[in-house]
Structure 1
Amino acid sequence: MPSPAALPLSQLRTLALASLGGALEFYDFVIFAFLAKLIAAHFFPASQAAWLRQTETFGLFGAGYLARPLGGIVMAHFGDIAGRKKVFTFSVLLMALPTLMMGLLPGYDTLGAAAPLILLLLRMAQGAAIGGEAPGGWVFVAEHAPPGRTGLATGLLTGGLTGGILLGSLVILALNGTLSPDDVNAWGWRIPFLLGGIFGLGAMVLRRWLDETPVFREMHERAETATTLPAGILLRDYRGSILCSVLTTWTLTAAIVVLILMMPPLMQTLHHVSPSETMMASLVATVCLTLSVVTVSTLTDSMQPRVLGLICGPMLAAGAFALYGLSPLFPGRLELWAGLAGLCCGFVGVVPVGMLRAFPPMVRFSGVSLSYNIAYAIFGGLTPAAISSLTPYTPLAPAIYVTVAAVAGCVALWVSPERKG
């Protein structure tokens, strides 16, 4: 059996440009979660209880997930018909502009009830953008990759996406380290949004240098692109693939949202950990997550995803219980447990490979996008508010939730179909 081809320089350039834009988009999306407590203070009435304002803010955070299916389906439709590159470039613009506007938006004291309503609309625009970014990126780099290197290419892009979370952690950490708490609360919280919007516009310009994928060009030359609605073909012929991909994406959302994005505000609220300590822990967790995702995704080039899922699923549950169950027993060691939880998130690297193999090229973009965004709309959208509501009853609610999602993801990955091409 011949050894897999190495990634040539042109494809490394494609990966770098794709990952840069994806990292900036994910940065724009997640800084909202990291700044949830400050956003709650600025965009909701001070007369409300702190827990209620935080729950409402996580509701706005979840609204971005609810907007994902519409944006993802529309962009994937044009991606399967008109080409991957155009949609892949447009998604960055759709993310950068709302992020910039968030940094300039006056708060509740100035606009009253209009402030959270405008913030809701901007958050939904971000959700529509991110709905096309990750699926489009996975399809784009996988169709550029040489035979036997799809897992490596997909893993490097996914690592780039999680790098956006890492970038957000670094910016928030630098913000808290250079400004006083009063300055951060008054105006400093706007800086991460302004930076994200500006750099996002730059990423859009860079993405114009990307080439269309060889797979789409070949389909176009053979007139094999979808001539009817790709979503209609999917719902008629690939319902099983959609269901399996939705459930595996649920596991991905549980790992990212519960163990990484919600960890700082939850630890601050549940165990009174300082913001700087939680952001340092988030930084460590994201670095470990990135390493784990790239490693596990690369392993799919030599191992079946379903087998890797049986290994990574239990590890994910163990990492969740370590983070939310054991870390409170060892004050001052949050970085250690957060890093362990990040290393246990390797299942995230298996999910995109499983979805890419579940759909044929003609409807691949739409299939991955539809499944991924339905899952994020249902589970990603409801999870933050649900866990914020359940944690007063048991601080282990996040770990229990992640465990249930891990079991569902393992089963779905095991029965998911694998198609050639």
Structure 2
Amino acid sequence: MELGLDTPSPDLTAPDPADAPLAHDNNTVETGKIWQVITASSVGTVIEWYDFYIFGSLAAIIGPVLFGSQGKPEETLLGMLAVFGAGFVVRPFGALFFGRIGDMIGRKYTFLLTLLIMGGSTVVTGLIPSYDKIGLAAPLIVLVLRLLQGLALGGEYGGAATYVAEHAPDKRRGYFTSFIQITATGGLILSILVIVVTRKLTGEAAFKEWGWRVPFLLSALLVVASYYIRLKLHESPLFAKAKAEGKTSQSPLRDSFLNPVNRRLVLVALFGVTMGQGVIFYTSQFQAYSFMQNTLKMDLVDASIVLVTAMLLATPLFVYFGSLSDRIGRKRIIMTGMLCGALFTIPLFHGIQAFAGPITEVTPATVDAAGKAVPAVLKALNPNLPAIIALTFCLVLFVTMVYGPIAAYLVELFPTKVRYTSLSVPYHIGNGVFGGFVPLVATWISVWASTQPAGTFWKEHSSLSGLLYPVLIALVCFVVGMKYMRDVRNVRIME
């Protein structure tokens, strides 16, 4: 089945076409070549996610350094999360800009460029002088760098997913593209490991003073290695063929969003798939990590052990569900994960809170030699780590269901001439804007709820109230997806 830009508007509620004969099995690329493509694409994408995550993971520590230490801790954290979120806001613009380049010039050179922008911004972040030395210039530089990172990441995922999919055999596209889906988790795990090791080697005091810069600076080595690997790649065969035949789009933006057929597919991809996938992804991984540290006062190492262990256990499931989608369809797997996220996220977070144990005051509030107030140090002293790992694994399980098959689904939805642009924009609005703002919106709702009068619903459930945002988004996406998402799979991707 082919959905060209000039075909009539498809019936998105039509029966599953998976039982129809396969239009074409793209087996022109050798398996060894596919693994080379996957490796090169994945290594670079892992590094870009690493660059993106270390900023968010260190928000509570670098906030006072780069934003000043005069405000309340929760205000500084919200400020850092707002800057972190700013990188997500511009991701759709990065998707438009780099998607256009990718659809006109090529996939390979576009994500070489995004890699350099992303890595360069990360390295410079580790060199920014503190707020005490340069004042407001520090947070302004951070904001500019975050915007550059967001723009670059907006062009990265679409390029990597499209590049791999255009090399993969039709009947195994879900399986091969699922390895790209592991990269975000891999980047998060790598960022956590580097942060924990650096913190242990430098010590707590030195890490807060200067050691936090090390994970940013290490990015330079990773980027150079990844750039070298990617430089050896060739253009994808489908795009090269389209370009040689003069079939590439001269105006990818117009063809993607002004053409009514393609525009409708973009809207279905956004409101029926990617925005729900985005909130489930960031809630189950990033927000859970932040929740354990900032709300439950778990030690950084304990929280890191929980999240890394849960993600390592769940990582093979990205590939499993990607491969399963080749056999039973993308829709039913994605929608099942979406519904599970909507129904079970709050109960699972409640369980994590219960097993973290009571919060204990380790060090009372004092006043330092300069007369400055030093807040009390609170910690969860005896968390039940095995139980928390099991609950966090369930959260990540939902991620593997919605995220594992999604690259294949999006690639199969759009024709080659506008695939990079059409795929990237709904993905980065859904994943970046709706998903990326989960930490900020959830934290803001929880802070607001904590200020409500005692005995009210919001006050009693303030620590979990912020989760209403991702739950409602996932529920809306499930309803829209069930009605309008079409299960396109095992087809020749359109030229």
TM-score normalised per structure 2: 0.80
Give the one of 390, 406, 417 matched to 1:336: 390
- What is the alpha-carbon distance in structure 2 between the residues aligned to residue 67 and residue 403 of structure 1? 24
Q: Aligned to 1:123, what secondary structure does the other structure show?
A: helix
Give CA-to-partner distance per residue, 1:74-108, whole Å, 9 cap, x none.
11101111111110211110111010001111111
**1:401 partnered with 2:473:** no
**1:233 partnered with 2:233:** no
- What is the alpha-carbon distance in structure 1 between the residues aligned to residue 238 and residue 481 of structure 2? 25
Give the one of 393, 403, 406 matched to 1:348: 403
- What is the alpha-carbon distance in structure 1 between the residues aligned to residue 429 and residue 232 of structure 2? 31
Tell which structure's C-alpha radius of gyration is larger.
2
Partner residue of 1:47? 70
Does the 8 Å CA contact 1:289/1:344 hold for their aligned counterparts? no
Structural mapping, 1:10-21, within 5 Å: 10-21=33-44
Structural mapping, 1:222-371, within 5 Å: 222-227=245-250, 229-237=251-259, 238-247=262-271, 248-331=273-356, 332=383, 333=385, 334-345=388-399, 346-371=401-426
TM-superposed CA distance for 1:395, in Å, is 2.0
Structural mapping, 1:162-181, within 5 Å: 162-181=185-204
Question: Relative to 1, partners in 2 of residues 1:7 and 1:413: Cα closer, same or farther, differing over 3 Å?
Answer: farther
Moved more, 163-172 or 398-407: 398-407
Aligned alpha-carbon RMSD (Å): 2.1
Question: Relative to 1, partners in 2 of residues 1:362 and 1:320: Cα closer, same or farther, differing over 3 Å?
Answer: same
Partner residue of 1:154? 177
Does the 8 Å CA contact 1:356/1:364 hold for their aligned counterparts? yes
Does the 8 Å CA contact 1:288/1:342 hold for their aligned counterparts? no
Moved more, 302-311 or 137-146: 302-311
Partner residue of 2:479? 411
Does the 8 Å CA contact 1:231/1:366 hold for their aligned counterparts? yes
Question: Relative to 1, partners in 2 of residues 1:146 and 1:411: Cα closer, same or farther, differing over 3 Å?
Answer: same
Partner residue of 2:441? 386
Moved more, 45-54 or 282-291: 282-291
Give CA-to-partner distance per residue, 1:126-151, whole Å, 9 cap, x none.
11111011111110100011221111
Give the one of 92, 98, 106 matched to 1:75: 98
Moved more, 128-137 or 301-310: 301-310
- What is the alpha-carbon distance in structure 2 between the residues aligned to residue 264 and residue 270 of structure 1? 10
Q: Aligned to 2:294, what secondary structure does the other structure show?
A: helix
Does the 8 Å CA contact 2:287/2:438 hold for their aligned counterparts? no
More helix by share: 1
Moved more, 294-303 or 104-113: 294-303
Give CA-to-partner distance per residue, 1:249-292, whole Å, 9 cap, x none.
11222122222113222222211111111122221233244323
Does the 8 Å CA contact 2:282/2:436 hold for their aligned counterparts? no
- What is the alpha-carbon distance in structure 2 between the residues aligned to residue 189 and residue 319 of structure 1? 35
- What is the alpha-carbon distance in structure 2 between the residues aligned to residue 300 and residue 194 of structure 1? 39
Unaligned runs of at least 5 residues, structure 2: 1-20, 357-382, 450-461
Does the 8 Å CA contact 1:62/1:380 hold for their aligned counterparts? no
Does the 8 Å CA contact 1:68/1:128 hold for their aligned counterparts? yes
Q: Aligned to 1:408, what secondary structure does the other structure show?
A: helix
Does the 8 Å CA contact 1:354/1:413 hold for their aligned counterparts? no
Moved more, 371-380 or 44-53: 371-380
